Amino acid sequence: MSRRVVITGTGSISSLGSNSNQLWKNLVSGKSGISLLKKINTESLSVKIGGEISDYDSNNFFEEKDSKKLDLFSQYALIAADQAIQQSEIDTNNVGVIIGTGVGGMNTLESEHEKYISRGQRGVSPFYVPKMIPNIAGGQIAIKNDFRGINFSISTACSSATDSIGISFKLIQNGMINTIVCGGSEAGITPLTISGFSNMKALSKNNDNPEKASRPFDKMRDGFILSEGSGIIILEELEYAKKRGARILGEIIGYGSTNDAYHITQPHSESIGASSAINKAFEDAKISPEMVSYINAHGTSTYYNDLLETNAIKKSFANCSKNVSISSTKSMTGHLLGATGAIEAIACIYAINNSLIPPTINLENIDPECDLDYTPNLAKEKNVEIAMSNSFGFGGHNSVLLIKKFS
């Protein structure tokens, strides 16, 4: 018999707040975290908006000598992990850490490359590599907290955090370890990253109206909004958590993961991979579609993703697809790339515990091809026993989590 895996802590930092309570409060009030970018020079960029943590000051969290050795994505991961660890009150060093990221230390890569171009090898910091590499956020969390269990990073583009949670779930379920700190972190708002996404026509260019720019499932959607931040959750084996008196926030009951094997950026035209990942999550959890009350959609606000995710839900939920409540919290947070799945899993946890569905804001002209219940513009009360979180990434990655109210 496989072991049950429960959630005992969450932490986050994003454009919607410096912790999970602030994130949730702003989500259910329909607040947008999208604004004109201030931390980088956007003069030469066609996209000038994003989900920026605009008031962030590393000195509020780290000694200056320490922050100089940490890329922003590691700083965000440490901040969110501290919150989750404090809430969970885990008390052992046999803890695993699995952190997902899409682009890792891009701020460090760009700044050190500029130094190399202007000054040659002598200009490059000896901290360049250990600041930039994608596994370093998890390494830093382990070093700070003396966590000596399994530790690695996952990079499956926009599915990274969801896969980190899903794989952590499986490792605990199968008896390898009792406790894992997992989630994702991203600090990809840089000139180079924005230029790349913009040139492939993935980003919204609605610079004149930032708060309205992210509009999943809307007929006028024109691309996603690049954002930054981190979401971290603590997973534990149920009996271990109960024995130490942990407060249990929810239970992971299913995980599905597939690949489209179709196109480097575009989802499969018949939604085969996404639908298959949803079905695998159902099979893993041993539940049927009608048992799911809420779906936190990947919902990027791009034409193909929103259309094809809608089709995937219809395929997998069949006659139940019209009854399930859906929302895209990316309408408010923007897209945190490799961190987004953890932020959205946290939204699912709060939805379950508050019997409240966060809205999809800016949904004013529903695309007739996107014809499900996307909870437009206002949160709604609903008992949520089981929530689904979808994440789909470049390279054809499809990852789905099922989260249940603990009982």
Q: Known catalytic residues?
A: 158, 298, 335
Tell me the C-alpha distance between 140 and 146, whole Å.
10
* Helix 272-285, helix 303-317: angle, nearest 10: 40
Nearest alpha carbon to residue 163 among 190, 149, 183: 183
Q: Where are the alpha helices (DSSP H) in 134-210?
A: 136-145, 160-173, 191-199
Tell me the C-alpha distance between 311 and 325, whole Å.
15
DSSP letter (8 states) at residue 31: -
Tokens at residue 154, please? 């996952």
Tell me the C-alpha distance between 217 and 307, whole Å.
7
Please give the single-letter amino acid code of residue 24. W
Tell me the C-alpha distance between 137 and 182, whole Å.
11
Tokens at residue 138, please? 């998890």
The kind and range of the H/E element at 214 are none
The residue assigned the tokens 């945190």 is 336
Tokens at residue 240, please? 């271990």
CA 332 to chain centre: 13
Residue 252 burial (C-beta neighbours within 10 Å; 0-12, 13-18, 19+): buried
Under 8 Å between Cβ of 51 and 225: yes
Nearest alpha carbon to residue 15 among 59, 65, 49: 49
Tell me the C-alpha distance between 101 and 254, whole Å.
22
In total, the chain counts a number of residues equal to: 407
Tell me the C-alpha distance between 279 and 53, whole Å.
36
